[in-house]
Amino acid sequence: MSRIALLARLAISINLSLEVWKLVVPWRSAFACMSTIALLGCFKGQRLMEEDAFLAFVESARQMLVQLGHGSYPEHIARVEETSGPSWGWVFCRIFDCLKAYSSGVTPAILLSDLLKAWLEKSKVENGWNCKETGGYNSPGMAVYKRQKQLRTRLSNVVTIDSIYEKCFISFDAVLEVVILNIQLLSGTSSYILTLGDAWSTNTIDMYLHRKFYDLVDEQKGIMKKGREVRLTGCRLRTAVVAGSSQTRLLPTEYLVVLLDEEQDDDALLLGARFYSDTFSNIQIGSLEAGAEYCFYARLEKIGEVEFHPQWNHVKQQTLFLTDQNHASMHLILWDEQVSLASLFSQGSMVALERPFISQTDPSNGQQDFAFFLEYGSASRIYTVPFIHDEEQVMLGTASQERFKLSSGSYERSPVIFSQLMLPRDSQGCTDYCNFPVQLMVSDLRPKMSNISLFGVVRSFTELDVASGRVIDQIVGSGLNTTNLHQMTLEDQSGSVVIHILFLEGRKYEKLDIGHTIFISGLKSLIGPSDMVDCFWNERETMAQLVNITQLPALLTSPCLYQLVPLRNLSKSCIGVQVCRVVVKDLKVDYVCQGSASVGCSESQAGLSFLMVLELYNRHDEMDGVCMALCFGQPATDILQASYKDFLCWPEDEQALYLYGLQSEEYIATIAQITRFLHKAFLDSWSNFGTLD
């Protein structure tokens, strides 16, 4: 039998009231500790709250941001209350980030202030409404850019020009989406300087143009003119002295991509004349040896993950999967610093490759699917036609004074009012719910939904075998590394869903267990092996985040995020964190071998940890009885404030005195119910603990 993976996290913080200080043993320091605890038995009762307090705060904060944000938007931007404002998942993630930053606890004022500031900054970047329409910003190119960018895939690592000036720094992998406002020849040199602006900043910035792009700024034949949009990465800053004053400029970067529009005559002419004639199947070894140059036009089907090659001094490699108009496939391989170039593209975009370096595949490495592969050489240039999302209309139901719900869901609290919301679809036809304004429930899930955020309780968590992993790999179609694939069942108020989880290679998420309340984002829905709607989660994805709320240290020091529940009202069907005020009446300690459910292991056996059985009660509520709770592993060590090795070295009388000193202390704790039966043999092994009253 596997080790007791039946327990949920109990985060404990000592109540620092005068009464509690009298109960604390003088030589014990009072500090917050965390432990794993599962309820084995207690009085049954009704739930104290119908809705989790954490969820209630998230929704109230979102509604407040909608109301406060209305006064900050310009009049020309129309807002609809039901569909505007931050997404529910975004608010949740920001609160989590704030709790990590303030581990000692937060107040509603701190949370709301942080949320409002972050939301206004996010709105500025996404909508571009804070720009000054003066000077270069009044150019036609900037106006077209603002309109077109709304339906494009949002790139990661995008920074604004204003942020560069504020920090006087730009990271090498940062992405700039800018428009050329001016082109000038540096006096007394042959160097070109571009003046760049973006749709979000009030400042402009100059950049030295890399020499491989000089012919593109030709006044007659060049396509890099005023109003042209480009994307940059691999940038570095330099402070130059101009007319006696310092001026910040960007140094030349070869990682520049020119954006094209097939609807524009000049761009269509360039593509037709230069890129439509060559295809991947036309590559000939003889032509390559003769110095022939190729130009390809292909669709970016997939952006591969970054790989490291230890045998080559940990060289980085990333593969872009391309398909041309004849449905022939080819790989574009990026190496080391070139990897940042992949962040300038989005899946589904068209890519025009000018003079790529073409290499033959080495048969010895086992990659014989293609005879050739492409590389970004010193003479290579890349253009792209960004993927423009289609949109799907979603019906959104809103309940007065209640949490928002999709009208399609079967779980409804009250009659709803319908409103419409347009959501983008990606190149694979999946509807993107990244900016969905309200909480999604399990009953709302449909196939081909992406960037889903869910809140619920873990009801099962297992590691999949190789055969099951291959089945999931075939369904997802992503070439997964199935050695670290897990399966989790998540339950909320409307139902449960199976989630297939792929952690980073070599990483185990041992702290996730049955009964834990979690928030998970970046999910993609699909039809699973059982022909039901399942979800898939890949930790490598940009939007992927998994938060174990039961384990948050700052949760119990933030009273605005929970409400105390009497022990008698604890419920096995509760969806959310249950927080109680408890006193340790008695505790017993034994040892369990990690990886098994047996107790009483020999001291020499590896992987020992504490196993604690606690009796809890609430001294402030005479109606409460005594609950028995189980705790083991590292969290039990935290409660005991001593390692099992040290504890074993103490005389028995000192051990007993130490355990006695832990009794009668008052805690505010999160408690989770065990959701399946413990094995009888394991329960029988507790006989050495004696009878628990």
The per-residue pLDDT for range 388-409, each reduced to its tens digit, is 777 777 766 543 334 444 433 3
Q: Which two tokens stand for residue 475?
A: 């369904």
**Which residue in 625, 629, 645 sits closest to 637, CA to CA?**
645
- pLDDT for the residue 92: 94
CATH of domain 153-259: 2.40.50.550
**Which residue in 138, 128, 253 sits closest to 200, CA to CA?**
128
DSSP state of 634: H
**Which residue in 329, 454, 384, 437 sits closest to 155, CA to CA?**
384
Give the DSSP H or E segment for 658.
Answer: helix 652-662
- pLDDT for the residue 212: 94
CA triplet 139, 144, 150: central angle to 5 degrees? 135
**Which residue in 400, 652, 440, 561 sits closest to 49, CA to CA?**
561
CATH 2.40.50.550: which residues of the chain? 153-259
Residue 600 makes CB contacts below 8 A (sequence gap 6+) with 590, 591, 685, 688
Helices in 71-181 by DSSP H: which ranges? 88-101, 108-127, 140-148, 161-167
- pLDDT for the residue 588: 75
Class of domain 393-551: mainly beta
- pLDDT for the residue 633: 60
CATH 2.40.50.140: which residues of the chain? 265-385, 393-551
CA gap 239, 625 in Å, rounded: 71
Question: Dihedral of the CA atoms 404, 408, 411, 413 (nearest 10)?
Answer: 40
CA gap 542, 81 in Å, rounded: 28
CA gap 441, 475 in Å, rounded: 23
> How many other C-beta atoms are found inside a 10 Å radius of the C-beta of residue 27?
7
Q: Percent helix, strand, coil in the chain (nearest 5)?
A: 25, 30, 40
C-alpha dist (Å) from residue 175 to 151, 156, 159, 253, 292: 18, 8, 6, 12, 33
CATH of domain 265-385: 2.40.50.140
CA gap 183, 141 in Å, rounded: 14
Q: Which two tokens stand for residue 456?
A: 């619920």
Chain centroid, CA 444 distance in Å: 21
DSSP state of 367: -
CA triplet 210, 212, 217: central angle to 5 degrees? 80
Query: Within the chain, which residues score under 70 in pLDDT?
Result: 1-51, 69-84, 124-153, 240-244, 363-369, 395-419, 478-483, 505-511, 590-613, 617-625, 632-635, 638, 673-693
CA gap 124, 568 in Å, rounded: 49
Q: Which two tokens stand for residue 250?
A: 């960007």
Q: Are 23 and 657 in contact (CB under 8 A)?
A: no
- pLDDT for the residue 598: 36
> How many other C-beta atoms are found inside a 10 Å radius of the C-beta of residue 585?
17
**Which residue in 357, 306, 312 sits closest to 330, CA to CA?**
357
Q: Which two tokens stand for residue 130?
A: 């804070």
Beta strand segments in 494-607, E: 495-502, 517-527, 533-538, 545-548, 578-593
* DSSP strand pairing (33-41 vs 8-14): antiparallel
Question: Positive or negative, the Cα torsion across 182, 183, 188, 189?
Answer: positive
DSSP state of 322: E
- pLDDT for the residue 322: 95
CA gap 302, 315 in Å, rounded: 21
CA gap 191, 217 in Å, rounded: 11
